[in-house]
Amino acid sequence: MTTSSSKRTLEKLLAPLEITFNGPDLWDLEVHEELFYDRVLAGGSMALGETYMDGWWDCPALDQFFDRVLGAGLDAKVINRMTEAWAVFRAWFSNLQRPARAHEIGEHHYDIGNDLYRAMLDKRMVYSCAYWTGADDLDQAQEHKLELICRKLRLEQGKKLLDIGCGWGGLAAYAAKNYGVEVVGLTVSKEQVGLACRICQTYPVDIRLMDYRCLDETFDAIVSVGMFEHVGHKNYRTYMEVVQRSLKPGGLFLLHTIGGNRSNRSSDPWMDKYIFPNSLIPSARQITAASEGLFVIEDWHSFGADYDKTLMAWHGNFNKAWPKLEPAYGQRFGRMWRYYLLSCAGSFRARKNQLWQIVFSRDGLPGGYRPQR
């Protein structure tokens, strides 16, 4: 297929979405390299992301472009079948998140630099969807989320909380300070451990560099925020079994996770290669199947639209800090990171991804559970 015919094919695909090449709207694509059309048509989402990183095209509002594309399901129409088939094959026959590989996500994503995350995130460095109800800014929205989690778990003085995927310790410090609990936090990121230990040093918080499967303790309550996306479909049941045996009778477990509308066994090729290797967004069906017979679902809270606003706030902070960060990270990284944040914002805006907080009990709470909002 020639470049001109590739361009015409893409124009026909984008026309119903009112997206044009070199057009006047914020969601239109500004193409700088004519080979762009051939490469994207042949390579799908991987080629789209890589050509952006290479500077072959720009878009004044990537989030609006992805909102239109993903909302119309165009991603399923323009896809490299060989790349997709290989990703599914790997995910089906290999356990990409087995214990020997548990620390890969930490090294690839979370260890790239605390300076980057400190500049991009809120003052507590909470790297997950904020809760914007009644909030005026990112700091307040993240505090609302932490408070919501603590209330949902019914935390109180003297209880012991396990935080699986504790990040830089924002939730652990908040719960220890405001609810008087003792906290054990697990992460597979060395950089997170170092900074979290400093952030939590005045509280009864124990931050450990540990895979969740190595745990052999019991807790009054367990929380996992933005970590289940790294577990993988082959390990969902194991994960739930670990949590179940670690939770004391009468205790509650809160799972905060991005959710997908369909059950998948592999993730987007570009996202897997450049941002979150070996990761997968779970579906409601996969979560309930993994927890069946182990837990009672007490509450299911969906607020995925809040992630759009959270990602746009992170992008705003990143842009402000980029002049100071660029010498250390380079231009190509900057384009990659913007593409990541804005494509995800567009996905949540299009409601292709969700955000769920699910509260589980081991055997069902006597008298029932009163949802917190």
Dihedrals phi, psi of 300, to nearest 5 degrees: -135, 110
Instruction: Give the pairing of strands 205-209 and 247-260.
Output: unpaired
Distance of CA 205 to the CA centre of its chain: 24
Q: d(Cα 192, Cα 231) in Å, to the nearest integer?
A: 18
Distance of CA 273 to the CA centre of its chain: 15
Q: d(Cα 24, Cα 203) in Å, to the nearest integer?
A: 54
Q: Which amino acid, 345?
A: A
Q: Please say whether the beta carbons of 175 and 167 come within 8 A.
A: no
Instruction: Compute the Cα dihedral for 54, 76, 356, 100 and give only its sign.
Output: negative
Q: d(Cα 330, Cα 147) in Å, to the nearest integer?
A: 37
265 forms beta bridges with: none
Token pair of 205 as six digits: 């918080």
Q: d(Cα 201, Cα 173) in Å, to the nearest integer?
A: 9
Token pair of 279 as six digits: 């990761």
Active-site residue (options: 59, 150, 166, 344): 344
Instruction: Name the E strands within 127-181.
Output: 160-164
Q: d(Cα 207, Cα 197) in Å, to the nearest integer?
A: 6
Q: d(Cα 147, Cα 145) in Å, to the nearest integer?
A: 5
The CA radius of gyration of the chain, in Å to the nearest whole number, is 21
344 among known catalytic residues: yes
Dihedrals phi, psi of 133, to nearest 5 degrees: -60, 115
Q: d(Cα 91, Cα 83) in Å, to the nearest integer?
A: 12
Q: Which residues carry out catalysis?
A: 344
